[in-house]
Amino acid sequence: MNPILVYCKRDLIRWFRGRWGFISAMVMPAAWLIFVGLALPIRFTDHYIDFVTPGILAMTILSASLAGGGLLIMDRMLGFFNKFLALPPPRESILFGKILVITIRGLIQSTIILCIAFLLGAKVYSPVQLVFTYLILFIFGALLSSCATTLAIHVGDHDQYAAVNAMISMPIFFTSSAMMPYDQMPAWLEPVAHVNPLSFAIDGIRMVQAGTIPVFQLTLLSLLCILVLGLSVHVFRKVKL
């Protein structure tokens, strides 16, 4: 069996068994969707739940990816990581297995959030829109998972990683186009939001909502993903037993 799938299956089983970790990961995106999507007084649109859903989906992937970096740190703390490195399969398979399982976890959580959004009155996506939405989320998840695993290799301590996670997650979210369109942003925030990778994913999903294929966003996210993944592989190869 492919070692990448073996590593992925191992972490997925551990994740499903830890039901409280799964439930807690869903609380924040669901709360944002309900209390912000339905309760926030907005003037620029009459259907804010439709507007904010792509942002909450991207935030779900962001949260899942950053939390997933802790998988690598936990393996190092428990001694599994060095044992995996000593096994015959290429060590890159460990990295790809982590990236795959983190991305899958994010997609599962995003699916639940999307179902909640539909139940709350958001416009239901067509099959084609769903395909492109999941494609964007998968590429974006792979990009963030690569960043998270690389960061976890450098940090190496669970408490420090949690601190870094908390420090970067909310600023990335609030400087994106998740909550408001560019023309409603303050002058200083708009250029920051335009170069935020989170905005690339959000804008791509909104274009899919509007019936347009987001070629530019998909291309840009794919290039960023390849670049960061290559960096992650380079860093991973230098890890010592």
Q: Which backbone phi and psi does 239 adopt, to 5 degrees? A: -70, 135
Q: What is the pLDDT of residue 241?
A: 57
Q: Which two tokens stand for residue 219?
A: 């291309």
Q: What is the pLDDT of residue 85?
A: 77
Q: Which residue has the tokens 């669901």?
A: 30
Q: What is the pLDDT of residue 10?
A: 85
Q: What is the pLDDT of residue 193?
A: 93
Mean pLDDT by 10 residues, the chain (241 residues): 82 78 74 75 77 91 86 80 78 87 91 90 91 96 91 78 83 89 89 93 94 92 93 81 57
Is residue 173 within 8 Å of residue 36, measured between CB atoms? no
DSSP conformation letters of the chain? --HHHHHHHHHHHHHHH-HHHHHHHHHHHHHIIIIITTTS--SS-S-HHHHHHHHHHHHHHHHHHHHHHHHHHHHHHHTHHHHHHTSSS-THHHHHHHHHHHHHHHHHHHHHHHHHHHHTTPPPPPHHHHHHHHHHHHHHHHHHHHHHHHHHHHH--HHHHHHHHHHHHHHHHHTTTSSS-GGGS-TTHHHHHHT-HHHHHHHHHHHHHTT---HHHHHHHHHHHHHHHHHHHHHHHT---
